[in-house]
Amino acid sequence: MKYTFKMFPLFDLSLQLNGFPMKEAKAELRKIVAFSEKEHEVFVENKKVEIVNFHLQNNAFYKDLVGITTFTSWEDLPVLNKKNLQKPLLKRLSEGYSAKNSYVNKTSGSSGTPFIFAKDKYCHALTWASNIYRFGWYGIEFNTSYQARFYGIPMDFIGNKKERIKDFLSHRFRFSIFDLSDEILEKILKKFQNKKFDYINGYTSSIVLFAKFLQKKNIVLTTICPTLKVCMVTSEMLFEEDKILLEKQFGIPIVNEYGSSELDLIAFENPQDEWQVNSETLFVEILDDNNKAVPNGTAGRIVITSLFNKAHPFIRYDIGDIGILDEKSTLQKPILKKLIGRTNDVAILPSGKKSPGLTFYYVTKSIIEDDGNVKEFVIKQTKIDTFEIEYVSETELNLAQIEKIEKAIALYLENDLVFIFHKKEKLERNKSGKLKQFVSFVK
C-alpha cells in the first residue's frame, strides 16, 4: 500500500496561534483583489476616510498632529515623517491597543531614523496575506516551499534561538550574511548541493556576492540545485547589471521586492516584469516638496497610507524614499517605474548642486567592476568635496581604474572632487545585515 503525506501548514498555524487571524485576512484580500476598477476606487476612498476618522477619534498623538477633530480634505492632512514618530510607542498607540495585543517591532534604522512601531493583529495578518498572495505569482507557497534565506540574525543567544524557531516554522534555512568570505560561500554552495531549496530570498548585496562567487567558479546554481524556481531580492537597490548576473548564475527569474517593516510589501515585481505597487492594503502617493501630488512619470517623495492599521497611524507617511510612478499607472494597478533612493542620501557638492548619492554609485559601479576583482563597495561623503570609497577586492585598484572613475564622475557631476580609496577585507553592515551603498556625513 502506498501512502502520501501532506505537509502540515505550520506557517499559517503559527501565525494563527499567535493571534493573527489569517483565514479572515486571506478572505478579505481575495475580495479586494477581485474588485472591478470602479469598486476598487470606492474601496480606497472609503478606507481613507475610515482610517483617518478612526485615528482622529481614538489616537491622541494623531489628533494632536492634525490639529482638528473632523476630517474634511485629504490634501490638508499633514505628512507624517519618521522624526514625528521618535517618541515612546505608548504615546502613539490608539485607545484599546497596547504592546500586548498588537504586533510590535522596530525599523532597521537604514534611513538613519529608527523607531518602534505597532500594527494591530488583523493589519499584520493582512501583511502576511499580501506576501503570500504575491509570492504565489511564482508558485511559492509559504507552508511547503523551502526557502534559502540570506538575512541577518541576532547574535545574542535568546534572539538567535527565536529567529531559528521562526525559520523552522516558516520552512526556511538561514545563511548568516555577516561573513561572506570565499570559505563561507563555499559552505553555502554545499548546502545548495544537499538541500532541495525552492526559492532564494534576502538582501540584494549578499545574494549578488554569492552570484559573483558562482561566476568565478563557473557554476550555474540550478545545475546543482534543480528544485530552485525563483529568487526574491529585497531591502537594497537592485541594479540592472546585477539582475542580469543573478539570472545568469542562478538560472531562475529574479524578482525585485520593495517593502517596509512598518507598512507592508510596497511593490513587488510581477511576472510581466512590472514593479506592481500594493494597492490592496496601502495607498501610495508621490509628492513634491510642497506635499502636492506630482503627475505620473515625475519623481517625488514616496508617501504611504496604511489603510488597515488601527493600532498606530501611518497616514500620509513619508517613508524617506524618492520614486517615480509609471505613466500607465492606475489607482487599482500602480506601477513603480523607478526607485531613485532615499531622501537623506543626497550629496551636496561644492558648486551647490544636489545629486542623489546613488549617482556616484551607478557611475563608479560600471567602472570599478570591469576586471571582476571587486566584489562590493560603498561610497561615503566625508566632506563637501571628498568621497571615500571602501571596496572588497582581491587586488588594489590600479591608477588607470582610479583615473577612469574620476573622469566619469567629473563628466556626470562636476570637477575637482577628491576620492580616497580603501581596500577592505569586508564591509561594515548595519545590525540587521544591510549594506548601505551610499551615505553622506555632510549636513
Structural domains in the chain plus CATH codes: 10-126+261-270+273-342 (3.40.50.12780), 139-252 (3.40.50), 346-440 (3.30.300.30)
Dist CA 117 CA 93 (whole Å): 9
* Owner of C-alpha cell 538561514: 174
Beta-carbon contacts of residue 382 (< 8 Å; ≥ 6 apart): 388, 441, 442
Please list the pLDDT of the chain residue by residue as tens digits (443 residues). Answer: 444 334 447 788 888 888 999 999 999 999 999 999 999 999 999 999 999 999 999 999 999 999 987 888 999 999 999 889 888 999 999 999 999 999 998 876 555 556 889 999 999 999 999 999 999 999 999 989 999 999 877 667 787 788 888 888 788 999 978 778 889 999 999 999 999 999 999 988 889 989 999 999 999 999 999 999 999 998 888 888 899 999 999 999 999 999 988 999 999 999 999 999 999 999 999 999 999 999 999 999 999 999 999 999 999 999 988 999 999 999 999 999 998 876 667 788 898 887 777 677 767 876 776 556 788 888 899 999 999 999 988 888 888 888 888 888 888 788 889 999 999 988 887 776 777 888 888 87
Dist CA 95 CA 287 (whole Å): 31
